């Protein structure tokens, strides 16, 4: 790579060159890049320029740096969308061209906590159907889901009639989800979920906690979805008022 024919900062050239190598398959997903020493020699730049380029590439989720190990090419997400769009996970996976499925870990009737009673107010809830499952895409685990539905809305037997809870709610409970109020949290580590989703120890998860409502503002579903960030990526459209 020549650094004399372009007036831009050297690290911009490094970014372009590494991106080009990734796009051309020279560096593949999850593959470790050559060492900093080797890259500075190959690209003809200083270590300072290289490190700045790698920092920007990491911010853009193109690479991931693991302390004491090296820099790796990040996996491309199978689904990327504006977080203001409300899709079921089943639809997200299906839309990406992969086959969605569920591995049910548990399905129980539980007594709601006071906090959960407040979430579903003004609906009076005495029992909740609690579902724990792993969502898969082409057989690979990509999301861990905890979902809770007021038991008076539907029978627990209906849960297994389709992988999409949106479909089940609409077709077996006659409740159509219109919108959701979402809290977003990064999760740095969770031993059980990381093991289930086959995450790397230094990976983080994206947790979406949502209350789903009908068009009549009736709360009918609470969900906590833990997404692998190398599989799902969300963005937000923000406008000036």
100 and 204 within one domain: yes
Say if residues 180 and 86 touch (Cβ distance below 8 Å).
Answer: yes
Question: Residue 5 — pLDDT band, cuts 50, 70, 90?
Answer: very low
Whole-number pLDDT of residue 114: 96
Q: Among 11-20, 39-48, 82-91, 153-162, which is the least confidently predicted range? A: 82-91
Task: Name the domain boundary from 54, 73, 92.
Answer: 73
Within a domain: residue 231?
Answer: yes
Q: For the segment 61-100, what is each residue's pLDDT rounded down to a tens digit? A: 788 888 888 899 887 766 777 777 788 888 888 888 889 9
Domain final position from 23, 48, 73: 73
Query: CB neighbours of 88 closer than 8 A, spacing ≥ 6?
Result: 164, 165, 166, 167
- Give every CB contact of residue 177 below 8 A, 6+ residues apart in sequence: 86, 166, 169, 170, 212, 213, 214, 220, 221
Please give the pLDDT value at position 4: 44
CATH of the domain at 40: 1.10.10.10
Q: Whole-angstrom Cα distance, residue 179 to residue 212? A: 6
β-pair partners for 180 = 212
Q: Which two tokens stand for residue 119?
A: 């979430």
Locate 241 and state its tokens.
Answer: 């008022």
**Any idea what the CATH number is for the domain that residue 122 is in?**
3.40.1410.10
Whether residues 52 and 129 fall in one domain: no
- Please give the model's pTM, rounded to 2 decimal places: 0.72
Question: For 138-182, how does the pLDDT look when each residue is reduced to its tens digit (9 = 90+)?
Answer: 999 999 999 999 999 999 999 999 889 999 999 999 999 999 999
Mean confidence (pLDDT) of the chain = 88
pLDDT tens digits along 219-239: 999 999 999 887 887 877 777
Q: Is residue 96 part of a domain?
A: yes
In the chain, the percentage of residues whose pLDDT exceeds 70 is: 95
């Amino acid at each position: 790579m020549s650094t004399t024919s372009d007036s831009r900062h050297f690290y911009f050239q490094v970014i372009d060159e590494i991106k080009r190598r990734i796009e051309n398959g020279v560096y593949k997903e999850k593959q470790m890049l050559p060492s900093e020493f080797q890259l500075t020699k190959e690209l003809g730049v200083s270590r300072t320029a290289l490190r700045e380029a790698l920092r920007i590439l990491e911010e853009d989720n193109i690479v991931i740096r693991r302390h004491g190990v090296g820099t790796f090419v990040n996996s491309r997400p199978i689904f990327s969308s504006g977080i203001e769009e409300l899709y079921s996970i089943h639809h997200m996976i299906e839309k990406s061209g992969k086959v969605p499925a569920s591995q049910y870990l548990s399905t129980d009737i539980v007594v709601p906590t006071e906090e959960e009673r407040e979430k579903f107010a003004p609906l009076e809830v005495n029992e909740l159907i609690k579902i724990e499952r792993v969502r898969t895409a082409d057989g690979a685990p990509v999301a861990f889901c905890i979902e809770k539905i007021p038991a008076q809305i539907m029978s627990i037997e209906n849960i297994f009639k389709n992988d999409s809870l949106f479909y089940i709610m609409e077709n077996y409970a006659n409740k159509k989800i219109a919108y959701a109020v979402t809290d977003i949290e990064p999760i740095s580590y969770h031993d059980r979920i990381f093991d289930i989703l086959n995450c790397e120890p230094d990976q983080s998860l994206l947790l979406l906690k949502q209350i789903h409502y009908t068009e009549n503002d009736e709360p009918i579903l609470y969900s906590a979805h833990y997404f692998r960030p190398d599989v799902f990526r969300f963005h937000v459209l923000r406008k000036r008022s």
